[in-house]
Amino acid sequence: MAWRFRISAAASFCTVAVSKDFDSTLLEGKSLLATYVTQFPETGLKVIGLEKAFSFQIEGVPIPIVGVMDMVEEDAGGNIVIVDHKTSSRSYSSDDIDKSLQLTIYGMAAKANGYADREIMLRFDCLVKTKKPKFEQYYTVRTEEDEQRAMKKIQAVYRGIMQGVFIPNDTSWKCKGCSYQLCCRDWFAN
């Protein structure tokens, strides 16, 4: 199969650590998709956007916050549901959901891009990669306080970047395959 060769060739240039071979990853993907198809609940919501790009400004940060929401849905009452699709090796905790900066930013983006007059709910649709895969949905909302905390964090990160502050996060699972490993090593060495 030509596509299998192209994927294998592309993987040889990838800097991300790969812990599984292609065939086992393909089987896992098929199993996760089958789980999604069989376990996804009928929500009755209308899909009004897929891969919905957004951009908005935060006071004190002269560059826009940009991103892409996986899916935007609307219920019969006109409420908006922002959905992010995830895979995970474990179920999410309440803290994982309620403190997700990503979902907070999505809610802020929705308000800044035409949905400020609507109720906004946020949802993770998660395929959990356990021995027997499962599908889980997690709903949450954000308060004005949550948004203020996110804005303050974004403003502080921007100021740090502008001042040349670089603090490695060498405890992340992403570290093993990160393309900034040399920068981190240099930072620790000097």
The pLDDT value given to residue 125: 96
CA distance 39 to 145: 34
Q: What predicted TM-score, i.e. pTM, was given to this entire model?
A: 0.81
The pLDDT value given to residue 151: 98
Q: Which residues of 141-164 are buried (b: 16+ CB within 10 A; e: fewer)?
A: ebeeebbeebbeebeeebeeeeee
Q: Where are the alpha helices (DSSP H) in the chain?
A: 2-11, 22-39, 94-98, 101-110, 144-162, 181-189
Domain ranges of the chain: 21-144
The pLDDT value given to residue 19: 63
Helix (H, G, I), strand (E, B) or coil at 16: coil
Class of domain 21-144: alpha beta
In DSSP terms, 56 is beta-bridged to 65
The pLDDT value given to residue 18: 55
Q: How many CB atoms are closer than 10 A to CB 98?
A: 16
pLDDT under 70: residue ranges of the chain: 1-19
The pLDDT value given to residue 188: 84
